[in-house]
Copies of this chain bind each other. A is one copy, B any other.
Amino acid sequence: MAKDKKLVESITSMQEDFAQWYTDVVKKAELIDYSSVKGCMIIKPAGYALWENIQHELDRRFKETGVQNVYMPMFIPESLLNKEKDHVEGFAPEVAWVTHGGQNQLQERLCVRPTSETLFCDFYKNDVQSYRDLPKVYNQWCSVVRWEKETRPFLRSREFLWQEGHTAHATAEEAQERTEQMLNVYADFCEQVLAVPVIRGRKTEKEKFAGAEATYTIEALMHDGKALQSGTSHNFGDGFAKAFGIQYTDPNNQLQYVHQTSWGLSTRIIGAIIMVHGDDSGLVLPPKIAPTQVMIIPIQQQKEGVLEKAGELCEALKGTFRVKVDDSEKSPGWKFSEQEMRGIPVRIEIGPKDIEKGQCVFVRRDTREKYQVAFEEAAGKMAELLDTIQSDMFERAKAHRDSHVSDAHNYDEFKSILEEKPGFIRGMWCGEQSCEDKIKEETAATSRCMPYEQEQISDVCVCCGKPAKKLVFWGKAY
């Protein structure tokens, strides 16, 4: 029992130390463990089950838009990585290099993919010949490696899991449409399934993906007021196509370059789920993504009929919900703590007195509200309650986010907001990278995105005071 005790006692409060709270939650909720490989994490069953649900839901949404899954090699020959100038500059400093196969040194070293644009381009170069071969709308689920110096579970690790979509189109318009379409798939998924509200926008030139013409992003706000880039979608125009020579013959028999996009979402998003919804008792999972939605916890389970009734209830709910009974030998109190730590959206308490009255007790994880429910109404009430929790969680996260968006009209205001009220700052921008650089250096805040919904909140740049061009969401970020 020593282990359970520690589970409950040792979580740091968010208020006291948010970073430590985060680390405690990922460990105590058994999402990950550290490994002997520096900077790489072990994703444990509770963490991987979350990722499986994310995959399942996203993959379905992808396929509805015509995406096909493929698998590319995990290695990229150095010469291939070097083909697109901006791309290699962005990624080469942080790749892992394979130099030997067995006993032999390789003729050309290979990097472990940090992302696979170059591999897809190399493939499309041969696979795309005619306009009839277009569009190509491919995606892969895989792991990638980036040799980061500072790592944190889910947020930044040397290896992480993700999906990367790579498409090739006949026209610039079609590529732009696909870029935006996939950003919207991500945004809808985050809001509808993960209950995480996001800001949709475009990255500045400074912040865009290495080799992209334009990068679009969804940005979420964590509980500590820091932003998390939660998914990105890139339009490459014909830049990669020209670097790799990806051409097709159009209906008039003319050679044309393809237009390409890529888009990715990673296990990082699990960090968002934790930091948007979690509390001082641990994880709080939205019902739609929770691997276990309902935990039935028998009270005085040694008494006749209690475990049987818990089992019956489980059977009755099983067809519709992801439900389990915790019939282990721990005390109900410990079981409650564990269920809370793991973020299971609802627990059902059921003991001899409840059984006498023909009822059980539903307890919401997010608000801890309790409801007495007659057995015969359990399934119907549970469906309602899970829906309510899902939408309440979104509304609560949105209210928190909205209350942490502040407008800054000049640089002093900008800096004092950053200190006093962490969150997104809306501020106008002149369009010069020098202002982004200055803000980053002096305040550690970065331009998160130029939101789709533009507004002119001031005529001058929040940093330099010159005429403003764009509204930007600024913030400190993970």
Residue of B nearest to A145 (CB): B74
Cβ-based interface call for A41 (8 A): yes
- B71→A123 contact, CB < 8 A: no
Binds B, one of A30-38, A208-216, A372-380: A30-38
Contact of A77 among B37, B49, B142 (CB under 8 A): B37
Q: Determine if A112 and B138 form an interchain contact, defined as CB atoms under 8 angstroms apart.
A: no
Taking CB atoms, residues of chain B closer than 8 Å to A251 are none
- Is A75's CB within 8 Å of the partner chain B? yes
Shortest Cβ distance from A142 into B: residue: B143
Give Cα distance in the complex from A77 to B71, angstroms.
26
Q: Name A's interface SS.
A: mixed
B42 touches A73 (CB 8 A): yes
Q: Inside 8 A of A73's CB, which chain B residues have their CB?
A: 35, 37, 40-42, 159
Whose C-beta in chain B lies nearest to the C-beta of A144? B74
A241 within 8 A of B: no
Most chain B CB neighbours (cut-off 10 Å) among A41, A52, A110: A110
Contact digits for A87-111, partner B, Cβ 8 Å, 1 yes 0 no: 0000011111111111100000010
A158 to B94, CA, bound (A): 24
Contacts of A71 in B (CB 8 A): 42-43, 48, 51, 143, 161
Contacts of A131 in B (CB 8 A): none
Residues of B within 8 A of A49 (CB): 68-69
User: Assuming A37-B73, A40-B75, A71-B161, is B99 touching A100 (CB within 8 A)?
Assistant: yes
Do A97 and B98 touch across chains, with their CB atoms under 8 A apart?
yes
The yes or no answer to A119 lying at the interface (CB within 8 A) is yes
26-69 of chain A: CB within 8 A of chain B:
33, 35-37, 40-45, 48-49, 51-52, 68-69
CB distance from A154 to the nearest CB of B (A): 12
Is the pair B95, A69 in contact by a Cβ cutoff of 8 Å?
A: no
Interfacial residues of chain A within 243-276, with CB under 8 A of chain B in the complex: none
Q: Is A72 an interface residue (CB 8 A)?
A: yes
Q: Tell yes or no: A122 within 8 A of B by CB.
A: yes
- A37 neighbours in B (Cβ, 8 Å): 73, 75-77, 110, 119
Q: Does A80 contact B (CB under 8 A)?
A: yes
On chain B, the residues within 8 Å of A161 by CB distance are 71
CB pair B35 A123 closer than 8 Å = yes
Q: Chain A, 450-473, contact with B by CB distance < 8 Å: what is the 0/1 string?
A: 000000000000000000000000
What is the CB-to-nearest-CB distance from A95 to chain B, in angstroms, rounded to a whole number? Answer: 7
Q: Which residues of B contact A96 (CB under 8 A)?
A: 75, 98, 100-101, 110
CB distance A102 to B98 under 8 Å?
no
- Evaluate contact between A112 and B95: CB separation under 8 angstroms: no
A147 within 8 A of B: yes
Closest B residue to A41 by beta carbon equals B73
A35 contacts across to B, CB distance below 8 A? 72-73, 119, 122-123
Count identical subunits in the complex. Answer: 2
A127: Cβ under 8 A from any B Cβ: yes
**A127 contacts which chain B residues (CB < 8 A)?**
33
Q: Which of B43, B100, B147 contacts A101 (CB 8 A)?
A: B147
Write out the residue numbers on chain B whose beta carbons fall within 8 Å of the beta carbon of A72.
Answer: 35, 42
Whether the Cβ atoms of A102 and B33 lie closer than 8 Å is: no
Asked if A138 and B45 sit within 8 Å, CB to CB, the answer is yes
Give the CA-CA distance A96 to B110 in the complex, in Å: 10
Q: Which of chain B's residues have a CB closer than 8 A to the CB of A36?
A: 77, 80, 119, 122
Chain B residue, CB-CB nearest to A104: B147
Considering the complex, which residues of chain A in the window 395-414 have a beta carbon less than 8 Å from any beta carbon of chain B?
none
Interface residues in A181-208 by Cβ distance below 8 A to B read none
With a cutoff of 8 Å between Cβ atoms, the chain B residues found around residue A123 in the complex are: 33, 35, 42
* Also in contact, A159 and B93, with CB within 8 A (given A42-B123, A102-B147): no
Q: Report the separation of the CA atoms of residues A42 and B93 in the bound assembly, to the nearest whole angstrom.
A: 26
Contacts of A93 in B (CB 8 A): 102-103
Q: A49 to B68: give the CA distance in the assembly, Å.
A: 8
Establish whether residues B74 and A45, one from each chain, have CB atoms under 8 Å apart when the complex forms: no
Give A71 to B161 CA distance when docked, in angstroms: 9
Contact A70 B45 (CB under 8 A): yes
Task: Give the top 7 A-B pairs by smallest Cβ distance, nearest first.
Answer: A40-B73, A101-B147, A45-B68, A43-B71, A97-B100, A37-B73, A99-B99
Q: List 23 A-B contacts (CB under 8 A).
A: A3-B129, A33-B123, A33-B126, A35-B119, A37-B77, A40-B75, A42-B70, A42-B73, A44-B70, A49-B69, A51-B71, A52-B69, A74-B74, A74-B112, A75-B159, A95-B101, A96-B101, A98-B112, A99-B99, A101-B147, A102-B147, A112-B112, A142-B143
